[in-house]
Amino acid sequence: MIIMTLDQKDSRRQPDLVNRVVAELDAMAGPHLVRRFQRTAGDEVQGVLDDAQTVLEIALAVARTEQWSTGIGIGAVRTPLPEETRAGSGPAFEAARDAVTRAKRASGGVALTASDAEAAEQAEALVQLLCELERRRTDSSQEAGKLVDEGLSQSAAAEELGTSQQAVSRRLQRGLWTETRRVLSVAAGIMKDMDATDGVDVTDVTDVTDATDAADIPEDRVGDGRPEGEA
């Protein structure tokens, strides 16, 4: 399972964005949302998802706003999984706690934690690169890339944007759109493999203790496992 925990930046001086963002995150997650995004403590939100590609797409969209630190945790969860996201527990939730803490000082404002430290480090490096590039990409490059991602040809995208096909091509090249899509696919593959190894589907867990122990996070990567409501 994959847990996303987001912490609003500079929340003491900025308006509370949690109520607005949870609906947006739920919509982006679509059918891959296992448990809805909810406020967990203060200015944090957390959701449970089952698809690495979707998690990365959300992480990129969040990174572009530069308003949140994003932690991604991969691993098993205690079952039965509660209906309330904030009531969930297990290694994946602890991993997300560790990740969001580290994300506050990380490149791209994102971090990833899982029990396979080597694979997690590889995936994290790629995700941080993607999020940093997402932050730096111009709006014009972003618009062109989104249209191409939706299946439009460069010519059709140019017509939609009121410009030439050559201009769209330049925007995609400057924004490294094709390259970042390939890197995103590689990162999603690594995360999917980790989820298959460490994550335990909620319907398959028969011994919660064994499932949790099997996915223990290395001591140097474990977060504080902060319980609900504790700031």
In a domain, 54, yes or no: yes
Q: How far apart are CA 193 and CA 188, in angstroms?
A: 9
- Angle between helix 117-136 and 177-198 (nearest 10): 150
Identify whether 226 is part of a domain: no
Domain around 73: 2-115+196-220
pLDDT digits (tens, 9 = 90+) for 174-219: 889 889 999 999 999 999 999 887 755 444 433 333 433 444 444 4
Q: Is residue 153 part of a domain?
A: no
Q: What is the pLDDT of residues 89-99, one digit of tens each?
A: 999 999 999 99
Q: Give me the CATH number covering residue 202.
A: 3.30.70
Looking at residue 226, what is its pLDDT? 52
Overall domain count for the chain: 1
53-73: average pLDDT: 95
Does residue 206 lie within any of the structural domains? yes
Residue 120 lies in a domain: no
132 lies in a domain?
no
Residues of the chain above pLDDT 90, percent: 69
What does the alpha-carbon distance between residue 200 and residue 79 come to, in Å, rounded to a whole number? 9
pLDDT in tens, 149-178: 888 999 999 999 999 999 999 999 988 988
Residue 226, SS3 per DSSP: coil
Tell me, yes or no, whether 176 lies in a domain.
no
Averaged pLDDT for residues 116-122: 95
Tell whether 162 is covered by a domain.
Answer: no
